Amino acid sequence: MATDPLGRHVATLAGDVLTVHDLARELTGVVSQPMPPPRHVTVHPSGTSIAVLSEPWKLEVWRHGKRERAVPIEACDWLAYTAGGAHLLLGVAGEPARLHLHDAVTLDRLDTSGPLHLDVNPLAGWGEGVEVTHAASAVGFAANVGDDPQVLAVAEVRDGRLRVHGAETGQVYARHLPGERVNGIGLSEHELFALDDDGIVTAFAWQAPEVTRRWVASGTELFDDEDLQLGGAVFTRDGIVTLDVVRDNELVALALVDAASGRRTGLLAPSTHWRNEHAILDNGFLRRTIDDRTWFARVC
């Protein structure tokens, strides 16, 4: 399953048929096409096209159910459209890990980052899997290895060039978390919000030349009930940070937190059938999967 950067469309694969659904229109199918299971998929903000990493390492763009273009690429562990839809960002695997920026239409490579760093050492890879979040011209990403963060950073597209914040020598966000692992991230135009395994939300001013962070909130501050914890998912829009709240690993509510003050502005309790361990907050909607069926509900 994959979503577009704005959380309006979701792509699902059933058998060898990939379908893009419009979440604002009760999951109406926008595009449906036969396709062998790809390595990775990302959906264009318009919902009318997708980018695919296929075997053997090709980057493809499909529009209205037809493949428009395909180019050979290096091995990659993830890809994402920018929120404006003009560019594709690819996380290149191998040693060292780095980023490629491609034009979303022609698939021409426009820029490549230098090696991404953790302290003074280049990253050897992308760890256990990458979480991605979006702002207008930037993509935030994070990954962990074991009990440690592997990377926590922002890739900004400026004048068709790529600039990375937070994964360079002397500016490593992953080393400035109160906790050990990154459980969830959200990105605004000015700050990268990271929830760690201690239940603390930290905001990094990603456009600042040096590491500039602030404490936003913690689970112990937000709730009087010690059994309630922040589960890991983060979503931010319009100055509000939305976090999932769990009790005994089961979703019980969504906490709405003012991004500037850290005060809780609301607590949204999902209906009963969403309160289970299968429900996940994902880019502005809830999803839950049981056996071979998946349900979706819009949050923002």
pTM of the model: 0.88
DSSP type of residue 96: S
Question: Residue 64, by phi and psi: left (phi above 0), alpha (psi -120 to 50) or beta?
Answer: left
One-letter identity of residue 284: G
**Cis amide bond preceding 45, omega within 30:** no
User: Collapsing DSSP states into helix, strand and coil, what is residue 286?
Assistant: strand
Q: What is the pLDDT of residues 86-144, one digit of tens each?
A: 999 999 987 889 999 999 999 999 999 999 988 778 888 888 888 898 887 899 999 99
pLDDT tens-digit readout, 201-256: 999 999 999 999 999 999 989 998 888 999 877 888 889 999 988 888 888 888 99
Structure confidence at residue 61 (pLDDT):
94
> What does R_g of the chain's alpha carbons equal in angstroms?
19
User: In this structure, are residues 242 and 235 in contact, taking their beta carbons and an 8 Å threshold?
Assistant: yes
DSSP result, 110-144: EEE----EETTEEP-S-TT--EEEEETTEEEEEEE
Please say whether the dihedral angle defined by the alpha carbons of residues 251, 240, 2 and 134, taken in this order, is positive or negative.
negative
E strand or H helix at 222: helix 219-222
Q: Give yes or no for residue 27 having a pLDDT over 60.
A: no
Given a contact cutoff of 8 angstroms between Cβ atoms, the answer to whether 236 and 243 are in contact is no
